[in-house]
A and B are shown apart, each in its own frame.
Chain A
């Protein structure tokens, strides 16, 4: 290099170095400028998203694994306000295809986007079928061209986005609706199983930060899903009971009713039909279908005076205390005085000499008051307590009522109350209380706690729920004695409750209904508590029809419903007729 040119190279090197230093200084100054802090904050803001993961709500199955409550995908349709070209086009398409209000949609789609609001929800809980209509709105573009969340092929609807999410769905519509309850749009369970097990079914939502930078991607945490429940209900039996109940309510002109079927050995409720019922997929119709605080499930939430079906309890107590035996004779004079009132028989007739079998068979009020007197008031109420009346049974359903008892010592208690209570008037019980109480008669004196959840499925394991017993109000011998008495009663009475081929036992109950001015005339509650087969009971059935107009007598109304129920039960539960069953018992 010629020495005279060296200064040029030195100058160029110095200039380039200075330029390099300038770049470094500028980079450094930008990095530490006040604006840089703003950009850093923005970068931090966009580098991650806060997402709340809602675990899918647990499913509800019947005892055979049939889905009763599940989840299905619905869509939220939203509009990106800064991308709307023609709000009218959006409103026309959505009102025509989705059914939303045109004016409201137009108003929302016409909103000017602001810094805080660039997205607005136009519709939610839109079913997948309607989204398909929207996607097919314009066929000029191939579906592959669409973004994953785009709602439509139509370029005019490019601003619409569809976000899928799950919502509760009930495939059986109104079947077992009074047992299941429902979940509202906010995901809160109301009534029945959905309310009782809400915390378990819903799971725990988890809020997490998800990085948008792919370099920082990490595995999303496993949010445990809500537990699933296997109910004791048999879907087929439930469907048949609801059909029989609906037909019976119509045939006998009843205002409503309830049928409960329970396995007396385990307390598993196999069916619990009640009127009215709600299509759970249209839960918003609840106030229309259940006006005036009508109980959602009469079988557990509505109390009523049971009438003669309660005589089972009085007789069970008397037999257990040994104050009477089935052969004890009583001379019925047609009336008896207790606490200043005169009690008469249901037909106001004199029945003469009757044994206890006859008293139950003819459902004699006078006889049962006498039995109560032999038992004494305190002992009688001790047994009422032992059978669980006045308490909730503990069934795993929301809104269970505990009944209404007036006990000695209460300000409105009189001796006449004791008299009427012995034949089931002047006290109020729920059907499920009666079912639980009579389970003692067919379960060797042991009373079971009725329940509806058979198993809980959580974290990949199934936890089966064991039967629970609620004490033994009577002895095994008393249970067997009364069981036989009630079977013979039906047979000798040639009751309409009898089912050919099967020996069943039970008791009718025709109860007067209290009104504001005493008991109502010509209106009754009719019930039947029965079970079978007598030697090895597989089911307890409780039938209650409210205010039937065809007849006021349970023997005409509730007893044939019991027979219809049993005729279906023996088929659905694979119970052979007694002769076949007993012939094969040795095998």
Chain B
């Protein structure tokens, strides 16, 4: 019986060791929580910073859109009919009389083109013309072409 107790005592850790282990475990847990908190704060802080930048960019975009509208109108002001007419007169130009015009025949000349402010709707939506046949031919059509002698 005494021998058995001595054996248990021999395998039991010293109390100070147990205290150190507990302290280490608690410190480890605290460290883990602190680490997670730090990562969370870091990520949240970065997300918030980027969010602010996005908000700023959205505001910048609105400002720029307004600025573009403004500049377009300013340009139109500066090149308006009345302004250009006055400038031409100041520079000594006069309206042309039909008898003063010299006409030169230019083959294929179609005259002044009218405004094309954006791609024509047919160009924009009809993608089939721009895509090669490999992208638009179905498997059946391909087989048909192979065995049907199509062009």
Contact = CB atoms under 8 A, between A and B. Distances in A.
Contacts, number: 133
Interface stretch (B26-34, B79-87, B136-144): B79-87
B99 A500 contact: yes
A217 B55 contact: yes
Given A70-B72, A454-B114, A175 B82 contact: yes
Given A63-B114, A171-B80, A215-B47, A571 B69 contact: no
A236 interface: yes
Contacts of B51: 213-217
Nearest to B49: A214
A67 B81 contact: no
A185 interface: no
Contact of A228 (B58, B107, B117): B117
A239 B117 CA distance: 22
Interface stretch (A108-116, A424-432, A521-529, A576-584): A576-584
B44 A215 contact: yes
Most buried by A among B67, B111, B114: B114
Given A70-B72, A72-B69, A172-B81, A64 B124 contact: no
A220 interface: yes
A67 B48 contact: no
Interface in B39-85: 44, 47-52, 54-55, 58-59, 63, 65-67, 69-70, 72-77, 79-82, 85
Interface residues of A, number: 58
A186 B134 CA distance: 54
A238 B85 CA distance: 13
A454 B117 CA distance: 12
A554 B120 CA distance: 45
B18 to A, nearest CB: 13
A216 B55 CA distance: 11
Interface string A151-171: 000000000000011100101
Contacts of B80: 171-173, 175
A10 interface: no
A71 B111 contact: no
Contact of B117 (A65, A166, A175, A236): A65
B17 interface: no
A577 B98 CA distance: 8
B133 interface: no
Interface string B95-122: 1111101010101000110111111110
A87 B66 CA distance: 31
A173 B117 contact: no
A587 B63 CA distance: 54
A463 B121 contact: yes
- Kindly name the residue among B59, B67, B72, B81 whose own CB sees the greatest number of chain A CB atoms within 10 A: B81
Contacts of A215: 44, 47-48, 51
Nearest to A587: B105
B49 to A, nearest CB: 7
A107 interface: no
A462 interface: yes
A231 to B, nearest CB: 9
B125 interface: yes
A207 interface: no
B14 to A, nearest CB: 13
Contacts of B96: 571
A584 B81 CA distance: 33
Question: Of A165, A214, A239, A571, which is in contact with the most chain B CB atoms at under 10 Å from its CB?
Answer: A214
Contacts of B98: 499-502, 567, 570-571, 577
Tell me if B's interface is mostly helix, strand, loop or mixed: helix
B73 A71 contact: yes
Given A73-B66, A574-B111, A214 B55 contact: yes
Contact of B124 (A72, A73, A461): A461
A462 B52 contact: no
A214 B76 contact: no
| Binding site secondary structure of chain A | mixed
A64 B66 contact: no
A72 B78 CA distance: 14
Contacts of A194: none
Given A172-B80, A500-B99, A67 B118 contact: no
Nearest to B109: A574
Contacts of A570: 98
A239 B69 contact: no
Contacts of B48: 214-215
A267 interface: no
Contact of A71 (B69, B112, B118, B121): B69
Nearest to A57: B69
A251 interface: no
A455 B111 CA distance: 19
Contact of B72 (A64, A67, A584): A67
A27 B126 CA distance: 64
Contacts of A461: 118-121, 124-125
A457 interface: yes
Contacts of A214: 47-52, 54-55
17 contacts: A56-B65, A56-B69, A62-B115, A64-B114, A67-B73, A70-B72, A71-B70, A169-B73, A175-B82, A214-B50, A214-B51, A214-B52, A461-B118, A501-B98, A502-B98, A577-B103, A580-B103
Interface of B: 44, 47-52, 54-55, 58-59, 63, 65-67, 69-70, 72-77, 79-82, 85, 95-99, 101, 103, 105, 107, 111-112, 114-121, 124-125
Given A71-B73, A230-B114, A461-B120, 16 more contacts: A62-B115, A67-B76, A70-B69, A70-B76, A172-B81, A175-B80, A175-B81, A214-B49, A214-B55, A217-B52, A217-B54, A230-B115, A500-B98, A501-B98, A570-B98, A574-B112
7 tightest A-B contacts by CB?
A214-B51, A65-B115, A171-B76, A67-B76, A217-B51, A239-B81, A70-B73
